[in-house]
Amino acid sequence: MSFPQLFRGQSVVYNVATMAIENDLDLMLRVRDGDTASFEILLRRYRLPMVSYFRRMVRDQGLAEDLAQEVFLRVYKSRERYQPEAKFTTWLYRIATNLALNAIRDRKDEVSSTVGDDPDGGTEFERFVDPQPTVEQRLVQGDRERLIRQAVEALPENQRAAVLLHKYQEVDYRQIARILRVSESAVKSLLFRAYETLRLRLEPMLREGRI
Looking at residue 61, its amino acid is Q
Shortest distance (Å) from residue 208 CB to other proteins:
9
Report d(CA 68, CA 170) in Å as an integer.
Answer: 18
Question: Is residue 152 at the binding interface for other proteins, with CB under 8 A as the rule?
Answer: yes
Number of neighbours of residue 22 by Cβ within 10 angstroms: 16
The helix, strand and coil proportions of the chain, stated in percent and rounded to the nearest 5, come to 80, 0, 20
* From candidates 3, 16, 17, 181, binder to other proteins by CB under 8 A: 3
Question: Is residue 202 at the binding interface for other proteins, with CB under 8 A as the rule?
Answer: yes
Q: Are 165 and 69 in contact (CB under 8 A)?
A: no
Q: Count residues contacting other proteins (CB under 8 A)?
A: 44
Question: Is residue 114 at the binding interface for other proteins, with CB under 8 A as the rule?
Answer: no
Report d(CA 188, CA 195) in Å as an integer.
Answer: 10
Report d(CA 112, CA 154) in Å as an integer.
Answer: 9
Task: Indicate the angle between helix axes 203-210 and 184-201, nearest 10 degrees.
Answer: 70
Give the nearer residue to other proteins in terms of CB position, either 68 or 115. 68
| Contact track, other proteins, 50-69, x by CB under 8 A | -xx--xx----x---x--xx
Question: Is residue 1 at the binding interface for other proteins, with CB under 8 A as the rule?
Answer: no
Binding site for other proteins (CB under 8 A): 2-3, 36, 39-40, 43-44, 47-48, 51-52, 55-56, 61, 65, 68-69, 72-73, 76-77, 144-145, 148-149, 152, 166-168, 173, 188-189, 191-192, 195-196, 198-199, 202-203, 205-206, 209-210
